[in-house]
Structure 1
Amino acid sequence: MELLDCFDRALDEFGSRVHAVDPGRWHHGTPCAEWSVRDLVNHVTGEHLWAPVLLSGATLEEVGDRFDGDVLDDDPVGTWDRAAHASKEAFHRPGALDRPVHTSGGPVPAGDYARQMISDLTVHAWDLARGAGVDDRLDPELVSEVHAYTAPRAASWRGAGLFGPPVEVPRTAPLQDRLVAMLGRRP
């Protein structure tokens, strides 16, 4: 699958679940123990507010704290939609994937940044579905792409505290279950 097609699908997976959140479930828990549904959507929305700025060449210091705290205000769905739209436009801008992007881990190729965002969107779409009580089945092709990207990096990401220890599942479990289990979630 082409990188930008993968990115678009991951945005759609997460976005469809944002739109499916029942108003009474925004404060329900998610598989990310410290985050409610709203906290999770705020986290991912914040990342996508950063994307256009970082893809334009800004450093973390130049961005500062402008996307800290609650970015959702009174309109979580609308704020997500605006952030996702701006992020998609930024990733699709001609030449956007040709330069490095400044991240907390240092400068990385924009393609790697896109893959990290795809992985985050995909896994958090599952987390959001679980917290919101909606369908958690993800696009199988997207799951395959994310699994292939994250499997060789999972141990180092886990060491950096990005997620908990893996959950044991049978080797014959569906790939989606193996993906979320590898990232510390109980399918």
Structure 2
Amino acid sequence: MELSEALTDAAARIATVVRGVSPRRLDAATPCPEYSVRRLINHLLYWSPIIEEVGLRKTSSPDRRDDGTPDRTVGDWQGEYLGWLDRIVEAWAPAAAWAGTATVSGRQVPAATIGEKSLVELVVHGWDLARGTGQEYRCPDALAHVVKRVISDTAEETRALGMFGPAVRVEGTAAALDQALAFSGRDPGWRAEPAPV
């Protein structure tokens, strides 16, 4: 599976999860300890314009707050995020988006690195969001294997930056998605508390 194809598939899968988020679940926990559902959605909305800018080779300078202030889960936040997903997919569809370098916060970085990290974000946070809101996250093996490869290749570097927790032990026969999640420091067996009534 090509990276652009994987990104398109991942975007479609997190879009399905986003459509199923109930307002009652916004303050629920997720498998990512520092993020409630609300904070995770704020994180996704914060980074979406930056991911699009990199794909389009616009100079990206993240300077907005990524701590949930202001809270972006107001109004039609679902429609807003779905729109960003469409724009991200369009920006990263050409092969040229993955080639060369891009400027992020004044630094030149390989564009493919940003594209791969964005792919991982969509899948891993899509799973986080699904689990936090009591939904199923369906990920085909082809997509899971791409994400597993990217995560395993970069896990130690990402962990050193504080973006992944310690790896979780899983069986070598575990599904590719479970192995990818475990590399990222997540427990594939994590389940949400029942929704409030």
TM-score of the aligned structures, taking structure 1 as reference length: 0.88
| Amino acid across the alignment from 1:55 | G
| Contact persistence 2:148–2:180 (CA under 8 A) | yes
Q: Distance in 2 between matches of 1:4 and 1:164?
A: 27
Structure 2 stretches lacking a partner, 5+ long: 189-197
- Mapped contact 1:143–1:176 kept (Cα < 8 A): yes
Q: Which amino acid aligns with 2:63?
A: G
Query: TM-score, normalized by length of structure 2?
Result: 0.83
Looking at structure 1, the residues matched to 99 and 174 of structure 2 have their Cα atoms a distance apart, in angstroms, of: 38
Corresponding residue for residue 30 of structure 1: 30
- Provide the secondary structure at the position in 1 that maps to 2:137: coil
| 2:13 counterpart letter in structure 1 | E
1:145 is matched with which residue? 146
Query: 1-side partners of 2:81 and 2:141: how far apart?
Result: 24
Given the alignment of the two structures, is residue 12 of structure 1 paired with residue 6 of structure 2, yes or no? no
Deviation readout 1:23-62 (Å, 9 max, x if unpaired): 211221101112111211221222211123233434344x
Work out the CA distance in 2 between the residues paired with 1:175 and 1:2.
17
2:191 counterpart residue number: none
1:62-116 CA deviation, whole Å, 9 max, x = no partner? Answer: x533887434432221111121122222223574334412236942222222111
Contact residue 30 and residue 132 of structure 2 kept, 8 A: yes
- Counterparts of 1:156 and 1:96, CA distance in 2: 23
CA deviations over 1:119-159 (Å, ceiling 9, x no partner): 11111111111101000332221110011111121111111
Mapped contact 2:55–2:115 kept (Cα < 8 A)? no
Count of residue pairs the alignment pairs up: 186
1:52 pairs with 2:75:
no
